[in-house]
Amino acid sequence: GPVTGIGRSYRDAPDIDGIVSFHGAGEFHPGDIIPVRVTSATTHDLCGEVVTRQTPD
């Protein structure tokens, strides 16, 4: 799907390492920590989808 956001993993430095582009429902802001499941990768970057948490019934 279309890219919802672009970020980096906790192990990546800005302007040096690759990015993590992701899609999923929700509203995201700079500085948010978003759980993402990686679904594909390129040489330097990761792509994924936002992991939604299931609440018990």
Span 1-57, pLDDT tens digits: 567 899 998 888 888 899 999 998 888 888 899 999 999 999 999 999 999 866 666
- pTM assigned to the model: 0.75
Tokens of 34: 């978003």
DSSP at 52: P
pLDDT of 2 reads 66
Tell me the β-bridge partners of 41: 46
User: How far is residue 34's CA from residue 51's CA, in Å, rounded to a whole number?
Assistant: 8
